[in-house]
A and B are shown apart, each in its own frame.
Chain A
Amino acid sequence: EVRLVESGGGLIQPGGSLRLSCAISGFSVSSSFMNWVRQAPGKGLEWVSVVYEGGNTYYADSVKGRFTISRDDSDNTLHLRMNNVRTDDTATYYCARGVDGSPFDSWGQGTLVTVSS
């Protein structure tokens, strides 16, 4: 069974840093492309970043230069390093698996990040 479990969210001050993790079971993190998607309170979905099987990474313009996606093949985990966070980064962050033809095939339950002073 495919399972994605996010962790690492919490309250953080503007300008601070945070690392989110997504523990994966049921498949290998290196065998699929993996995404982070966020949703601000009461708002729609926003794609944040992707890491492909070969290691290429891409980011939304809103987070480019501040966020870094990575994966740890040894413990089958996806990460999102968030630096220099802003109040508009406040959102629930979901990790999602991509497979051929279905970029967001399976989702975790999400972890809430609140950026506030």
Chain B
Amino acid sequence: SYELTQTPSVSVSPGQTARITCSGDGLTKSYASWFQQKPGLAPMVVIYKDIERPSGVPERFSGSTSGTAVTLTIVGVQAEDEADYYCQSTDNDSFIFGPGTRLIVL
């Protein structure tokens, strides 16, 4: 199976745009999802099928894809967006998570 890689941390000021990238060879063949996890809580999906946003997730969250990378973009970051973000994809009959990116809101 392949691995997914993510930058360990991203820091932005409130109101700025945060971009979190996930890379992996298998991303050209399988959809990716993004999960937000706040301390002590279960993860929550914020993007699925590369670009789809579940109902209830703010419009400032969006996903994009380019080759072997997918990107989660948060436009107009708010303090409440500070969390760990994990990408996830599929490899045959198994599921793979990236190592996570901590978004720090300064």
Contacts and interface: CB of A to CB of B under 8 A. Distances in A.
Contact of A45 (B31, B41, B94, B100): B100
A101 to B, nearest CB: 4
Interface in A74-117: 94, 101-105, 107-110
Contact of B35 (A35, A45, A50, A58): A45
Interface residues of B, number: 25
B34 to A, nearest CB: 11
Nearest to A105: B45
B43 A101 contact: no
A30 B47 CA distance: 25
A11 to B, nearest CB: 20
Given A45-B97, A47-B97, A60-B94, A104 B35 contact: yes
B41 to A, nearest CB: 8
Given A47-B96, A58-B93, A101 B42 contact: no
A109 B96 CA distance: 20
Contact of B31 (A35, A44, A50, A101): A101
Given A44-B100, A58-B93, A103 B33 contact: yes
A35 B90 CA distance: 13
Q: For A47, A101, A102, which residue has the most chain B Cβ atoms within 10 angstroms?
A: A102
A46 interface: yes
Contacts of B48: 101-102, 105
Contacts of B41: 109
A107 B42 contact: yes
Given A102-B49, A104-B33, A104-B35, A94 B42 contact: yes
B42 A44 contact: no
10 contacts: A37-B43, A45-B86, A47-B88, A50-B95, A101-B48, A102-B49, A102-B52, A102-B54, A105-B48, A109-B41
Interface of B: 31, 33, 35, 37, 41-45, 48-49, 52, 54, 84, 86, 88, 90, 93-100
Interface of A: 35, 37, 44-47, 50, 58, 60, 94, 101-105, 107-110
